[in-house]
A and B are shown apart, each in its own frame.
Chain A
Amino acid sequence: MINLAIVFKEGLADFSRNKLRTFLTSLGILIGVFAVVILMALGLGLKKYISDQFESLGNNTIFLVPGRILSGGGFSGSASSFTGTFDNKDVDKLKRIDNVVSTAPLTLKSANAQGTIDEEFIDVMFSSEAIQDLMGFEVDVGRFFDKTDLTKRAKVIVSGPKIAEKLFGGNQEAIGKKIRIEDVRFTIIGVIKSKGGGGFGGFDYDNYMFGPYTTGYIFNPEKKFFRIAVKTKGEQYVSQVKEDIKQEFLKRYDEENFSIVEPTELMSAVNSIFNIFNLVLVAIAAVSLVVGGIGIMNIMYVTVSDRTKEVGIRRALGAQKSDIMYQFLTESVLLSFVGGFLGLALAYVAVFFISRYFPAYIDLVTVAISLSVSSFIGITFGVFPARKAANLEPVEAMRYE
């Protein structure tokens, strides 16, 4: 069998003699692989971003949401309903369910608030002290509100770091300051550490303020909650607790009027949507790879006719059809692989810069896919020219000048 090293050497010698031609041919594959890799990197980044957001909620937390939020793996229209449905009775019921560690009812109040340096339209989330543990908030300065604040219906508030910065110019500066929400004056008792995030339907907790839900009744005379967070003892209890909650709540509500949501479940739904979205984009980018492949096929036909005499000589020296085929296929794969490799390298550089603003990254699967796809294109589009070369008649080929 003909030595691979010499086939490579000849291929490379041919490339260096036709540098521009080689570069232009590889460019098609380069652009295609670049586009595919960038889109895959962005898709992966998006997925990571979303899962990071959900991960902070922990995998043993369940949310009760009014209406049907998930149906058949996707979101339904009433998903973002913020109207309160649940009340204290529900919270008490939840507390009695086995393996429930803590519950946190949630209501939202949006209002204008006046700080020392600026005025902002803010969102305040009223909940129980359990919310700190549930959401994994860490206190940066001061303290979080506690059970005593709930029973006393204390007019205290904990601020996210971004809103503290905007209204007061810093976390330290915000402590002990009064803030007026409609006609009620609250005292800021603590600022939490940044959780990052925001966007894509997730809460940007850094821009929220948090107060005791009992105090929140001032703005919520019906004492209704739009969400209840439930923490179970551990991940293994989640499904049982969900089932128990469902049985309990069906006594009071229609099936359509409440949903029990696990963040992980929600995450997989979100992920499945982005996966499809990404797949479509990658498929579009893959079209450019096919165009690049056609470019390779074209140039390989030119190469074959340029080297007809050489093929004749090789056949005279005893090369079999398969030897000739193998030689030209190696060259087309090399051509396309080099394009793919350069495209990947370029994508690495691009992703390096993108990753400063967005968590895009290239994983091993992407590398493997892009390199094997570009080799595959080299084979697929190289096979016809290579077969043409292999089937040349030795005498005819040798006469060719």
Chain B
Amino acid sequence: MIKLQNVNKSYRLDNEIIFYALKNINIRIEAGEFCSIMGPSGSGKSTLMHIIGLLDKPSSGKVFLDNQEISNLEDDEISRLRNEFTGFVFQQFNLIPKLTVLENIILPAFYCRKSLSFEPKEKALELLRRFGLEEKKNSYPNKLSGGQQQRVAIARALIMNPRLILADEPTGNIDSRSGREVMKLIDDLNHKEKITVILVTHDLDIAKHAKRTIKIKDGQII
């Protein structure tokens, strides 16, 4: 489903390459896989995640989603893929503070150009029920605990029925008990709903949830 071919990411200063964040990366991830990307900080794992998540473009090499090369795509088309194909879960939750829990979850649906097969509000309420946050629907994110915020963020990632969940250190900013709850949710998404999950972490215990671990160091797969 996802294929990276000879992907490099370098940063230049005055036309001279000063730093390689990623060097010659080749990865293939199949649909339904639960895969973790592990590495110490500064290893390039976040850059890799941004490239897989279509938030960033490689300096060279090719990225395929469902055998479609994405470097030729227009910005609007890439936005559409982020909207419909991928659901993001961030370490910092990245909820929008001035929107309520419910509005935050619905937000991706507002950016969708095609007609949806579901009613976004109903779907959001259903997700909130499932995550035990129904009574928080009209609260603002700053009134929620870290664990609750992360569950809202997961609900937001799921609203568009994505085929891929990209989770970047999802337990990094929450206590261990909430962390376990969050990981349980992510496990369920892969096991029960067959959503492809890519988990970026530096924590071995978290990485163990995945069936496959891709280790990265100094921008290279080891």
Contacts and interface: CB of A to CB of B under 8 A. Distances in A.
Interface of A: 1-3, 6, 10, 13-14, 17, 309-310, 313-323, 393-395, 398
A-B pairs, 9 with minimum CB distance = A318-B83, A13-B98, A318-B111, A320-B79, A2-B110, A317-B108, A395-B56, A318-B82, A394-B55
Nearest to B77: A320
Nearest to A393: B56
B135 interface: no
Nearest to A7: B110
Contacts of A317: 82-83, 88, 107-108, 111, 156
Contacts of B55: 315-316, 394-395, 398
Interface string B112-145: 1100000000000000000000000000000000
Given A320-B75, A320-B76, A10 B99 contact: yes
Nearest to B113: A1
Contact of A313 (B53, B94, B110): B94
B96 interface: yes
B79 A315 contact: yes
Contacts of A310: 96
Interface string B36-63: 0000000000000010010110000000
B80 interface: yes
B96 A313 contact: yes
26 contacts: A6-B99, A6-B103, A6-B110, A17-B98, A309-B94, A313-B94, A314-B111, A315-B82, A316-B53, A316-B55, A317-B83, A317-B108, A318-B80, A318-B83, A318-B84, A319-B111, A320-B75, A320-B79, A320-B80, A320-B111, A321-B75, A321-B79, A323-B111, A393-B56, A394-B55, A394-B56
Interface of B: 50, 53, 55-56, 75-76, 79-80, 82-84, 88, 94, 96, 98-99, 103, 107-108, 110-113, 156, 160
A320 B84 CA distance: 13
A10 B75 CA distance: 25
Contacts of A14: 98
Contacts of A323: 111
A316 B82 contact: yes
Contacts of A320: 75-76, 79-80, 111
A1 B79 CA distance: 13
Q: Is the interface of A mostly helix, strand, loop or mixed?
A: helix
B110 A3 contact: yes
A313 B156 CA distance: 12
Contact of A398 (B82, B94, B110): B94
Contact of A321 (B76, B80, B88, B156): B76
A8 to B, nearest CB: 12
A323 B80 CA distance: 12
Contacts of A17: 98
Given A14-B98, A395-B50, A318 B56 contact: no
A10 B98 contact: yes
Contacts of A10: 98-99
| Of B75, B98, B160, most A-chain CB atoms within 10 Å | B98
B172 to A, nearest CB: 15
B150 to A, nearest CB: 15
A310 B55 CA distance: 14
B113 A319 contact: no
Contacts of B80: 318, 320
Contacts of B76: 320-322
A10 B112 CA distance: 19
Contact of B88 (A6, A316, A393): A316
B118 to A, nearest CB: 16
Contacts of B112: 318
Contacts of B110: 1-3, 6
Contacts of A398: 55, 94
Given A6-B103, A320-B111, A394-B55, 10 more contacts: A1-B113, A314-B107, A316-B55, A316-B94, A317-B82, A318-B82, A318-B83, A318-B84, A321-B75, A321-B79
Given A395-B50, A395-B56, A318 B103 contact: no
Nearest to A10: B98
A393 to B, nearest CB: 8
| Of A1, A320, A322, most B-chain CB atoms within 10 Å | A320
A222 B110 CA distance: 90
Contacts of A314: 96, 107, 111
A92 B193 CA distance: 108
Contacts of B103: 6
A320 B79 CA distance: 6
B79 A319 contact: yes
Contacts of B83: 317-319
A11 to B, nearest CB: 10
Contacts of A316: 53, 55, 82, 88, 94
Contacts of B82: 315-318
Contacts of A394: 55-56
A23 B99 CA distance: 23
A401 to B, nearest CB: 9
A324 B76 CA distance: 12
A86 B76 CA distance: 83
Nearest to B80: A318
Contacts of B107: 314, 317
Contacts of B160: 318
B15 to A, nearest CB: 19
A117 to B, nearest CB: 75
Nearest to A321: B75
